Amino acid sequence: MKIITIVGARPQFVKAAMVSRAIQQYNSEGKHPFIEEQLLHTGQHYDANMSDIFFQEMGIAQPTWQLNCGNGTHGEMTGQMLIAIEKILMETCPDYVLVFGDTNSTLAGALAAAKLHIPVVHIEAGLRSFNRRMPEEINRVLTDHISTLLCCPTFAAIRHLEQEGIHKGVHHVGDVMYDAALLFADIANSSSTILDRLQLNSKSFHLCTVHRAENTDQPERLGSIVEALKGIGQTDRPVVIPLHPRTRSCLEQYGWMASLEAHPGILLTAPLSFLDMVMLEKHAATILTDSGGVQKEAYFHRTPCITLREETEWVETIKSGWNQVAGYQTEDILFCMNNIPEDREEILEYGSGDAAGAIIRLL
Nearest Cα to Cα of residue 61 among 1, 27, 19: 19
pLDDT at position 50 is 46
Nearest Cα to Cα of residue 280 among 191, 179, 195: 195
Which residues are known to be catalytic? 211
Integer Cα distance of 187 and 182 in angstroms: 10
From the CB of residue 260, how many other CB atoms can be counted at a distance below 10 Å?
Answer: 18
Instruction: Give the count of alpha carbons within 13 A of 30, CB side only.
Output: 0
pLDDT at position 221 is 96
> What pTM did the predictor assign?
0.84
CATH class as words, domain 2-172? alpha beta
CATH class as words, domain 183-337? alpha beta
Dihedral of CA 339/343/347/353: which sign? Answer: positive
List, by residue range, all CATH 3.40.50.2000 domains of the chain.
2-172, 183-337
Quickly list DSSP for 225-288. Answer: HHHHHHHH-BTTBPEEEEPPHHHHHHHHHHT-HHHHHH-TTEEEE----HHHHHHHHHH-SEEE
Contact 233, 206 (CB under 8 A): yes
Integer Cα distance of 169 and 149 in angstroms: 5
pLDDT at position 46 is 57
pLDDT at position 70 is 78
> What is the DSSP-derived secondary structure letter of residue 208?
E
* Beta-bridge mates of residue 234: 237
pLDDT at position 259 is 93
| Each residue's pLDDT expressed in tens, for the chain with a length of 363 residues | 999 999 998 789 889 999 999 999 999 999 999 999 999 999 886 555 545 666 666 667 789 999 988 788 989 999 999 999 999 999 999 999 999 999 999 999 999 999 999 999 999 999 999 999 889 999 999 999 999 999 999 999 999 999 999 999 999 999 999 999 998 888 898 889 999 999 999 999 999 999 998 999 999 999 999 999 999 999 999 999 999 888 999 999 999 999 999 999 999 999 998 899 999 999 999 999 999 889 999 999 999 999 999 999 899 999 999 999 999 999 999 999 999 999 999 999 999 999 999 999 999
From the CB of residue 78, how many other CB atoms can be counted at a distance below 10 Å?
Answer: 23
